[in-house]
Amino acid sequence: MKLNIVHSILLVLLFFVYSSPLIFINYVLFDNSLDEDIITGISMILSIGLIIITLNYVNRAKIKFNLKVLDYRLLIFLAFILILSDIAITNPGILLIETFIDNGDSINTNESYSYLLAAILIAPIVEEVLFRGIILKGLLENAKYSPNKGILISAILFSIIHFNFIQIFSSLSIGLLLGYYFYKTRSLTGAVLLHFIANMSILLCSYVNKTLGNSKITSISDIYGNYSIYIIGVPLVVVVFLIFKLVKNQRNIYD
């Protein structure tokens, strides 16, 4: 199934249309008394299911996903980059931006089981099905779009749907790495695993910050405690080296 950028944007809009009714009902009829994370998770599942049904009907053919995990070496390599990036760049960046914007008061400390279920399990599955399994796959099948353009488009759309300025850049980088893995393997399950690792990693980084540091950043030690400079510095050097190596070795996909 070939897609272009207009189709991709329409699919994202359709995702929100399909996911809105339950959220609207909870807001209007129940005054948000139902667990918002559970409602969001159920809405996401229903929405992606309806999108698949819609596309199957429109194209008169079933959408197929590759559920095999392929290229474990690349999977581990990218997972390593994601984890180190969360430690050295993403989490410190989020903390610094939130401190600058509102003195750190908006930092999410939700640790409920429903939040973990929605953010750590449901979101990676649903988002990877939409952005890699459907959108990126469709763009890659369209000869008018080079692989790097398809990866970039899917990553930009992936970052925009988070509706959070603080998360846009981290989501974009994650989307690029997940898109690259999917381009090389066409493995949806592998992309889901990487997404899960990225979400779990940032959650653990936030926990370490809350345990050893301070959400309001006035010095580098507020991020991960007394050894923050080493916890951030070493992974930062390693991740820069790994990304440089990745780009150098795979330059053929970048026009």
Mean pLDDT value across residues 61-81: 92
pLDDT for position 234:
95
Instruction: For the chain, give the percent of residues with pLDDT over 70.
Output: 93
Mean pLDDT value across residues 104-128: 77
Report the alpha-carbon distance of residue 222 to residue 98 in Å, rounded.
13
Q: How far is CA 214 from CA 92, 105, 200, 204, in A?
A: 11, 11, 20, 15
pLDDT for position 74:
94
Name 1's Cβ contacts closer than 8 Å, sequence gap at least 6.
55, 59, 61, 63, 137, 138, 141
Name 28's Cβ contacts closer than 8 Å, sequence gap at least 6.
none
Statement: residue 253 has pLDDT above 90: no
Mean of the per-residue pLDDT values of the chain: 89
Higher pLDDT, 94 or 87: 87
Q: Are 19 and 47 in contact (CB under 8 A)?
A: yes
pLDDT tens-digit readout, 207-220:
898 889 887 888 88
CA dihedral 209, 107, 156, 236 (to 10 degrees): -20
Report the alpha-carbon distance of residue 44 to residue 114 in Å, rounded.
14
Statement: residue 131 has pLDDT above 50: yes
pLDDT tens-digit readout, 8-57:
999 999 999 999 999 889 888 888 788 888 999 999 999 999 999 999 99
pLDDT tens-digit readout, 139-191:
999 999 999 999 999 999 999 988 766 678 889 999 999 999 999 999 999 99
Instruction: Please report, in angstroms and rounded to a whole number, the separation of the first and last CA atoms in the chain.
Output: 24
Q: Are 244 and 250 in contact (CB under 8 A)?
A: no
Q: Return the residue matching tokens 């996903």.
A: 65
